[in-house]
Amino acid sequence: MTRTILLALGLAALTACIPKGKYVALEEELASTRADYDAKLAERDATIADQEATIAKMQGQIRDLEGAIRKITQELASREKQLADLNAEKAAALADKGALRAQIEDMTAALAELQERKAQAEARVAEFKDLLAKFQGLIDSGTLEVKIVDGRMVVAMATDVLFASGSASLSAEGKEAVVKVAEVLATISDRSFQVEGHTDNVPMRGSERYPNNWYLGAGRAISVTEAMVAAGMPVETISAASYGENRPTTENETTEGKAQNRRIEIVVVPDLSLLPGYEELEEMVNGG
C-alpha cells in the first residue's frame, strides 16, 4: 500500500516536472516502440512457427527417406540373393556342361573302341571263314578239322593218319596231307603258326629216343614242321612245341578218346598288335 502511494506520488511529481508536449511525445514514442517490439515479436513467433513447421516437414521427409532406404536395402538384399542364386545355377550348369562333355567324350571313345573291336571281330570271322573255305576239301575228306580253341584258330589233324604208333616219322599218306595243309597256310600272309604235338596218356616204353610223351609229341611236331617248311612254308613263320599228354580234348578212358587226344594242332598265332590296349601294353613293357 505504502509502496503504491509512493510510486503514484513519484509519477505525479515526475509528470508535474515534464512539459505536456514532451510527455505526449514520449508516450507516442513508447507506443511506437511497443508496436515495433510487438511486431518483431509476432514476426519472430511467425518465423519460429515456420521453422518448426519446416522442421516437422523435414522430419517427415527424413522418415519417408529412411523408409525408402530400408525398402531399397531390402530389395537390394533380395536382388543380391537372386544374383547369388543365378551365379550358383550358372556354376552348376557349367559344371554339368563340363561333366556332360566329358561323358560325351568318354562315350565317343568307348563307341570308337567298340567299333574297332567289332571291325577286328568281323575280320577274325572273315579270316576263319576264309580258312574254312581253303581247307574245305580236306575237312570233307576227314583229314583235318578247323576249330577255335581258347580264342585261337586251330587246324587239327589226327596223328593216327600221320604216324605209326610210337613213331614220329611221317607216313607217306601223312606227308601228303601235311604238304596240302602247308600249301594252304603258305597263302596266308602276315601270320605265324605253331605246330603243337599232343599224345594220349599211354606211357612210352622201350624207346631211348622218346623216353616219354613229351619227347614223342615234340618229335612229331618237329617232323610236321620240317615237312611244311619243305613244302614252301617260310621258316620264320612256323615253330614247333609239345604238350605231350597234358592237354587232352577228352577223357583217355576209351579207345576213341585216346585217338582224339593223339593229334597235331597247327595254331594260327594271334597278332597281339590287333588287340585293344596293345599300344598301352607295349609302352608299359618297353618303358615308353
Residues 191-244 have pLDDT tens digits of 899 999 999 999 998 788 999 999 999 999 999 999 999 999 999 999 999 999
Rounded to 10 degrees, the C-alpha dihedral 153/155/159/162 comes to -150
DSSP code, position 202? P
Mean of pLDDT values over 103-122: 85
**pLDDT class for 122, splitting at 50, 70, 90?**
confident
Closest CA to 170 of 197, 192, 146: 197
Return all residues near 149 (Cβ < 8 A) that are at least 6 apart.
Answer: 265, 267
pLDDT of residue 16: 58
Q: Using CA of residue 7, residue 13, residue 18, residue 24, what is the dihedral sign?
A: positive
pLDDT of residue 281: 58
Which position has the higher pLDDT, 95 or 236?
236
Which position has the higher pLDDT, 14 or 112?
112
| Helix pair angle (172-185, 213-230), 10° resolution | 60
Domain range list for the chain = 67-127, 135-271
Mean of pLDDT values over 36-44: 83
Write out the three cell numbers for 224.
610236321
Which range among 35-39, 48-52, 60-64 has the greatest average pLDDT?
A: 35-39
User: Please, what is the average pLDDT of the chain?
Assistant: 85
Three-state DSSP state, 276: coil
- Predicted TM-score of the model (pTM): 0.60
How far apart CA 14 and CA 26 sit, in angstroms, is: 13
| Cα angle, residue 216 at apex, residues 258 and 209 outer, rounded to 5° | 140
Contact 197, 212 (CB under 8 A): no
pLDDT of residue 273: 60
**pLDDT tens digit string along 64-93?**
778 878 888 888 788 888 888 888 888 888
- CA 70 distance to own-chain centroid: 50
- CATH (residue range 135-271): 3.30.1330.60
Write out the three cell numbers for 106.
568318354
Closest CA to 214 of 241, 253, 174: 241
**pLDDT class for 57, splitting at 50, 70, 90?**
confident
Q: With 60 as the cut, is the pLDDT of residue 7 above it?
A: no
